[in-house]
Chain A
Amino acid sequence: MGTLNFKKEKKYNIIKYSGELTLDVVEELKEEISKFINECDNEKSLVFDLSDISFMDSSGIGFLVHLNNVNKTKNKKLYLLNPSGAVKKTLSLVNLLNFFEIIEDESELDIEIENI
């Protein structure tokens, strides 16, 4: 597995994963991230920093959609922060680029979340 970091900000919780987002890691990621979400136990939105993803396969796509759905059922929003070229290309191929809320820069997050 690559590197997984969690950070609790004032207005949102942020996850950063660096490495390949593939079948080999999604089950472990799913477990770690849901632990973090449960620990947070608040109404804040979740931000997933994807700037350092070198490759994403179909299981990675499934994982992002799953994460989005989990947040939705909890009435929370999921933002994909600064997705790498590899992520954008893959999401675009499966016509999912518009399905996610994508934020290109962390500085935009406060404004975006303020406006919810």
Chain B
Amino acid sequence: MDAALLPNRFQSWFASRGWSPRVHQLQLIDQLAQGHSTLLIAPTGAGKTLAGFLPSLVELEARGKRKPGQAGNGIHTLYISPLKALAVDIARNLEAPVSEMGLPVRLETRTGDTPSHKRQRQKLNPPDILLTTPEQIALLLSDPASAKLFASLKTVILDELHAMVTSKRGDLLALGLARLRRLSPGLRTVGLSATVAAPDDLRAYLVEQSETETRSLSHLVEVSGGAQPDISILNSEERLPWSGHSSRYAIGDMYRLIKEHNVSLLFVNTRSQAEMVFQELWRINDETLPIALHHGSLDVGQRRKVEAAMASGALRAVVATSSLDMGIDWGDIDLVINIGAPKGASRLAQRIGRANHRMDEPSKAILVPANRFEVLECQAALAASKRGEQDTPPLRKGALDVLAQHILGLACSDPLDAVVTFEEITSSETYRHLDWETFEKVLDFVATGGYALKTYEQYAKLRKGKDGLWRIAHPKIAQQYRLNVGTIVEAPMLKVRLVRSKADGRRTPVGRGGRLLGEIEEYFIEQMSQGDTFLFGGEVLRFEGMRESEAYVSRAKTDNPMIPSYMGGKFPLSTYLAESVRTMLATPSSWPALPDQVRDWLEIQRDKSVLPEKNGLLVETFPRANKHYMVCYPFEGRLAHQTLGMLLTKRLERLGARPMGFVANDYALSVWGLGDLSLLFSSGRISLDQVFEEDILGDDLDAWLAESSLMKRTFRNCAVIAGLIERRHPGQEKTGRQVTVSSDLIYDVLRAHEPDHILLKATWNDAAEGLLDISRLGELLARIRGRITHTALPHVSPLAVPILLEIGKEPVYGEAMDMLLEEAAEELVLEAME
């Protein structure tokens, strides 16, 4: 690649730094100069961000300084990042080359924190480069002046694209891009991404799609991946636990590793794990090494402090959840310890990328499996990493609630022509498959709620004029839209405030609030009684009570909190890793790579029961303590297993097997009950083929979903995003007596009276893809058809031990709600009779 693509000013800047431009940086300049949208895939430390900005900087340099009195040029380049902190960080980093080269470039950020006078000024006098987030793009596009604002836009840079496209924010952004392309024809997009499984998905996302079946792709610049990372699995002398996620057995090993390295980053999967590991490390921290904790529930101020300390090199280790997964540079980390299973090969690769930002040196990582199954999973992830294989999820189909929000936004900016808008929307890869009928339904929903009963015409938010264009009925509608924009619906959170304990025997009411410790999910607190203890912010707290939107806690004197696991294993096992684990189990020749304890475990399983086949399903049944257990091993992740467990219990109940409950983890599922399952299956009275028949995804599923609180939560999110109910804003909490409309009630009414409503469809789509993992469950049922092996055992098998140990730790499902009430009421009767 020819360095002449770089103007002199740039060449001498590179030279003054002792650098030379990298090939991919020049390639990107070349591609954009030819008008090509381009995806850049590069590992961390490859100068990806600078590569993204160089083409714009070169063009802006050529444009020269604006003369006094000359009109502004409008925004030349938009940079969109998934995190506002990242946008701010990048702006800061970019200012150095701009000022050092003396480029006539003004760059500014715009996030939710930008003061309104500055936002106003940005509209009147836009900067050359604006660094912002998908939500801000949506807001800008809803402004009547948006056409003018973006008329001269040349480039859009999308950072961390692989992360953005996996959520509804990616949908919102896809719709925003489609509009931007219409406002500024010839617009080029630059996607910056980590390595992904299907780069073509991202390439398609970046460009306009036409109606033809073949999809258009952007150009691609790929930087092959630096030095091979140095990954190993912790070889602990300690006994490997059968189940659980705590990794407590390896605390000593982790502490030793921290001591041996300069700065370590310890990644965990859940916040409760983070709390536990942090506390345990400090318990043995004889040298009082500076070890910190970072997760999304902690107070923002505290998180910023940790980040600053990390960047300045004041820390030796940070225990973090995925809140630290992305983006910002954390300084020189020389070791990543991944605690628990990585859940996905690509996820692991991205985490490891946090260590060592110089791409030519290998990153060092150590995996710490928390239990025996996780050893297998870590082994599979390690193998995937060696082969450089990826398992990022495929591109999602655009969500309908996001579409509804977007349509309202478009109408706020400009009268809207339905046909033109439909074409614009379906020109994005994400919404390419949207059909006209669904689009009309969504439009109707935005206008009047989309109900078959047409009683709201008089209150319509959008009205179709004589010219056939849709307009908002009132300026207030635009205000409403602005308050509701965005796709992140936070779970209702409570502030956690420290007070003095009631347990001290003082009779005064719970003292006035002390320090704020952070925030915690409302549903977690809901399950607690006064006096319950839990880990939060690295200390054991005692729950004292609730006051308005705050949970009052005191410091507990115990070391052993009753940690109810909040936020269980957040990410389900990836399909790719699941398959590798199944292969490993079915291939004893691969076992020598495993630790002795694990190998013994599998060998005993082979002797006492059978090993699961790669593409089949092993079902074991055995009696235990007056109950009969069935354990099966689908390896499809906990979400799919939970759904399957719910459906299996319903079906077994109908077949007379009297099931009582079930428990699921990432690898296995266990159902137990009163009926002799061994006998029922082996005598053929119940056929396993029938139990696992694919039609289980039909009526049973519908019946269960009707009552499922999971669907109600999903519905609430859809209803907020689609603008059916208003977002709750901080400081505007409902005062107890003002009873607001609960989304659960709306859900019930809607299901009863208009089951085909577009919002119920959106809810179903969300649940099927996310929380229920229906598609994965469907694939499982198809895969195992005719390949189910049943083994009746006298007692529990080695492989079944982990899942049985989860009973009591994980939520058990099965009882109907009314039954709970009944039992509680009967208990009361007993109490009275004693």
Tell whether A and B belong to one assembly.
no
